[in-house]
Amino acid sequence: MLTEIARAKLNLALHVRARRPDGYHELETLFAFVEVGDVLRVAPAEAPAFRVTGPFAAALAGEGDNLVTRAAARFAETFGGGAHAIELEKHLPVASGIGGGSADAAATLRALARFHDVALDDPRLFAIADRLGSDVPACLLGKTALGRGRGEQLAPVVGMPGTPVLLINPGVAVSTAEVFRRWDGVDHGPLDADPLAGRNDLEAPAREIAPVIGEVLETLAAQHGVTLARMSGSGATCFALFESVEACADAASRVARPGWWCVETRLAP
Ligand SMILES: C[C@](O)(CO)[C@H](O)COP(=O)(O)OP(=O)(O)OC[C@H]1O[C@@H](n2ccc(N)nc2=O)[C@H](O)[C@@H]1O
Ligand SMILES: Nc1ncnc2c1ncn2[C@@H]1O[C@H](COP(=O)(O)OP(=O)(O)OP(=O)(O)O)[C@@H](O)[C@H]1O
């Protein structure tokens, strides 16, 4: 059996530059990953089997088209390799801006590639990822990178591994498509080399749908030792980077509210 961690993705900055004729949006984003994630276990089997366990399993109950099974089906079409039993231990909130489903799909592709001796940088693997979703190629690469296009054109950059991070999700699921639909169409300019100087252009439309995001951001920004507080992706999860582990732990002990998912972690390499 193989175990893969599907690390949560953060958009340290997310600039929406234009709406495209195909309905997607032209982005400039700085992808980063944190140490927490879902856990995926894969083993060869007589017949395909899939089950979801863990604290957020219920949120996916009854969904036929899980991104994990879709990724496994696409892998089999391209590379063969027979049937697998897959367990997804769901720790990340669903539809929350930290790419849980995308990370799961990418982890599935990585695990199956390992089983069947496919190189992790095989372009066919990236082609599958690209068709599964805009965030899946970034999750397949799994390291700090600048993303352009709809997020699939990736250029690795030096990250800030080890930086303490606090994540807060206020328990409201937000639809990515709806947030993009509410984008005001104004281009506020390119992403600079410094993410701290950047923005998340989806914050305003996400706050229209879930005003509690404003409360989360205020709470994070008010903590001692914060160097950056921002929403990730299309929300509603927000993150804060801290100057020390102590400051992060101290903040984590203060921000808890009923219904809020609060997790202390670090940026991954
Ligand atoms: C917001 C981000 O998470 C930032 O990394 C991604 O752009 C979204 O990635 P994702 O969830 O993998 O999104 P997809 O499954 O590809 O697309 C979901 C929906 O979001 C919108 N979408 C997504 C990506 C993009 N560049 N422009 C868009 O307009 C489209 O309406 C699309 O139908
Ligand atoms: N394994 C999975 N985990 C989570 N969601 C899944 C999964 N498979 C399918 N989905 C579907 O995908 C939708 C988006 O889920 P996901 O958690 O990836 O969103 P997100 O965190 O907002 O992602 P992003 O940051 O890429 O916008 C869910 O509402 C759910 O219906």
How many domains is the chain partitioned into structurally?
2
Question: Does residue 145 share a domain with residue 35?
Answer: yes
Question: Does residue 257 share a domain with residue 138?
Answer: no
DSSP single-letter state for residue 152: T
* Residue 143 annotated to the active site: no
Nearest CA to ligand 2 atom 19: 95
> How far, in Å, is the centroid of ligand 2 from the Cα of 218?
26
pLDDT tens digits in sequence order for the chain, 269 residues long: 999 999 999 999 999 999 999 999 999 999 999 999 999 999 999 999 999 999 999 999 877 789 999 999 999 999 998 999 999 999 999 999 999 999 999 999 999 999 999 999 999 999 999 999 999 999 999 999 999 999 999 999 999 999 999 999 999 999 999 999 999 999 999 998 787 889 999 999 999 999 999 999 999 999 999 999 999 999 999 999 999 999 999 999 999 999 999 999 999 98
CA distance 133 to 202: 18
* CATH number, position 67: 3.30.230.10
The interface predicted TM-score (ipTM) is: 0.96
Q: pTM score, two decimals?
A: 0.97
Token digits of residue 250: 């101290």
Question: Does residue 31 share a domain with residue 152?
Answer: yes
Reply yes or no: is the peptide bond before residue 236 cis, omega within 30 of 0: yes
Which residue among 90, 124, 156 closes a domain? 156
Counting ligand 2 atoms within 8 A of each CB, the residue from 50, 94, 104, 179 with the most, and so the one to mutate, is 94
Other beta carbons within 10 Å of 166: 24
Nearest CA to ligand 2 atom 29: 95
Residues of the binding site: 93-103
Confirm if 200 and 180 have CB atoms less than 8 A apart.
no
